[in-house]
Structure 1
């Protein structure tokens, strides 16, 4: 017989509301962009120790981790603890590092994306211990992962491949607007290079202008994003992957996740001077990938563009090797696979069961957010990318999403999160492992 009392879990989470609010304010103030999270890592470790974690440490890459319990299976709660920069300070109505707090919300860079996640995860684990929910069947691993904004999933590649930690499943605590998210599109970072021949700008006909060559390619990249996939369309749009004809094995998942996209994010040139024909031009492409697309297929579709062939374009993928705050660099290709967990997977069902017994079958949240939240199903998907690209995308470890805050607050000025979400998520996290290991949702 299960010892799971959902009312007690809710009461415990509500009782820790003020502690969670204070913790979130503290870690917002310990400012930490990617590769600069040192102070924040130490503050999180301190909180883990204070609330009674059985073990707390940070690894050689700088990810902060803590175990609650000593059971056999590892169930992990992941929250990346780095943030993007402030951006244009004139766009902020308050100090993004000092932040603010009122009765309903907490403001500051990282509030939704996604420092609230580590707060709810730490206190969700504490509730498990307080209520005697831990058993010899599982232990909970809470991870404050680094460098996600720089290279999503790189932290978990290191945790799985070098720390040799492989959980039974992982909950991503990225913001989900009160929903349960079971996947998202993948992405990759592509570079296209073309070469020309320089000459004096007074006689451009003597040279071969690389920028003009790239201009041809740029228009065709745009067509990939904008065109339809009809028979007479020469450059068929990426929307084709939603069609069974072009994507027979994955079109249903593609329609759930949404079509792939491509956009030019950067452009570079080389030229002897401002009075010369450019002899080199390069672009970066942000490619979002739906189900059925691979890094090989995405590289090939750029290489196959008529102008890319005509101008001898070189198409390649970027690599990432920036050192973490500890000085360790863990190199990988800038490829972040699409992933999706089935709606009837035991992990999905366990999280939905936990939510149903605590809060019902629909999204909940602060009044100001409910018009947006109530229009969406409880089980859905992210628009952006998460560490799930490595956990499930590369390593096949089941991953599910449920986290405080809102996607549209990510990377935006005047970023906020909601106190109610912190409590809701802590309660669901506390119930989930017992529901899963005891098979209560089956």
Structure 2
């Protein structure tokens, strides 16, 4: 049933999306510490007033993910929209405008999280409400808005223990920044903490010790020669690894008994991370202990999927650009949620500018937000027509 008064006194879905983006940017959800509850509760109240059922899932104090849906939980199939509530820190460089301003200058809406990815969330909500106003009832959708995505999809992983009835999800839109281009894949990420052990001794008598830094250096050299034995993926490319940090030793005149380094491994589909971690451990030997810090699977979809192909055509009609499907370098909650909802067709599609994510003076183009409202509205309408057939 529609509410007796307008949910928000804004004339159009496009202006609503812009206003919501500004409101969301003004809520500080920098991770760490996160504080996503403030934004989750704000959006939850908005959606509850619009007639959606809402639940909040605690990740830590002050940190919640929001799950909201229309109709009954198992009614469906539902179209799932997912996005994350947290943002990365502001950085050390000064901003031209406050990172929490949401100020608009020309076609740019500024603020941390504007592109990554509060504009995407705002645009989908506006499109959903427009559908309700136009059709007199809600579409069959579920929104999953997570905490802790920026630090390893922590909120999405916590949702594996959902206690409400199983949701019947038929397809998923991940609203990450793609400049409104259809993206169908990304590499997986496995971040590894490696610890080399040694025996301390006086630096003037190194033969009495066992230098952990040397063991770390030897291991890093071996990593540079590591062969994944994985064929190139025509969408995702080759798996890669990079040693990003290293530390060891307490003072110059002691043999260090510990050294640490961290490895960023990017994987393609068909590479189970647990097996890869075991393989790397065996390859490096017992001088170095490995532990996974972050583990997010790869995502790969096919343009021949009827739903994905249809979404691509609709996006091309609205934007005027060809959407043949491509991959991105960043990871998303998508593959984690597919473990929960099943291997449903999934696209990554949002108004944010990928080049602005995590940058000083981050912005999202207002015109892209408006286009995203229309894109999401078309996707919702097409989903409802398909369900009614």
The residue that corresponds to 1:408 in the other structure is 355
1:283 aligned counterpart, secondary structure? strand
> What is the CA deviation profile of residues 35-88 of structure 1, one whole-angstrom value per residue up to 9, with x for unaligned ones?
3112222222233345x2433442344212333456532211111010010111
Relative to the length of structure 2, the TM-score reads 0.85
The residue that corresponds to 1:86 in the other structure is 90
2:235 aligned counterpart, secondary structure? helix
- In the alignment, structure 1 residue 36 sits paired with structure 2 residue 35: yes
| Structure 1 residue 393 displacement after superposition | 5.8
Distance 1:283 1:217, change over 3 A: same
The 1-side partners of 2:324 and 2:104 are apart by: 28
Relative to the length of structure 1, the TM-score reads 0.76
| Structure 1 residue 388 displacement after superposition | 1.1
Contact 2:213 2:249 in 1 (8 A): no
1:235-384 pair list within 5 angstroms: 236=227, 238=228, 241=230, 247=231, 251=232, 254-269=233-248, 273-305=251-283, 308-309=284-285, 312-318=287-293, 334-360=294-320, 362=321, 377-384=323-330
The 2-side partners of 1:108 and 1:299 are apart by: 38
| Structure 1 residue 356 displacement after superposition | 4.1
Distance 1:54 1:207, change over 3 A: closer
| Structure 1 residue 343 displacement after superposition | 1.0
Match of 2:202 among 200, 203, 211: 200
The 1-side partners of 2:192 and 2:316 are apart by: 42
| Structure 1 residue 198 displacement after superposition | 0.8
Contact 2:102 2:111 in 1 (8 A): yes
Contact 1:32 1:82 in 2 (8 A): yes
| Structure 1 residue 304 displacement after superposition | 4.6
The 2-side partners of 1:58 and 1:438 are apart by: 30
Contact 2:109 2:365 in 1 (8 A): yes
Indicate the structure with greater strand content. Answer: 2
Contact 1:336 1:393 in 2 (8 A): no
The 2-side partners of 1:296 and 1:147 are apart by: 22
Contact 1:338 1:393 in 2 (8 A): no
The residue that corresponds to 1:18 in the other structure is 15
Structure 1 residue ranges without an equivalent (≥5): 1-12, 225-235, 242-246, 319-333, 364-376
Contact 2:187 2:297 in 1 (8 A): yes
1:72-221 pair list within 5 angstroms: 72-90=76-94, 92-132=95-135, 134=137, 139-152=140-153, 154-164=154-164, 165-166=166-167, 167-221=169-223
Structure 2 residue ranges without an equivalent (≥5): 1-9
| Structure 1 residue 269 displacement after superposition | 3.0
Contact 1:24 1:116 in 2 (8 A): yes
Distance 1:267 1:314, change over 3 A: same
Contact 1:107 1:415 in 2 (8 A): yes
The 1-side partners of 2:318 and 2:51 are apart by: 24
Contact 1:68 1:125 in 2 (8 A): no
The 2-side partners of 1:256 and 1:379 are apart by: 9
What's the RMSD between the two structures over aligned residues? 2.7
2:192 aligned counterpart, secondary structure? strand
> What is the CA deviation profile of residues 271-315 of structure 1, one whole-angstrom value per residue up to 9, with x for unaligned ones?
5x553110111211111101232214432443354xx23x63223
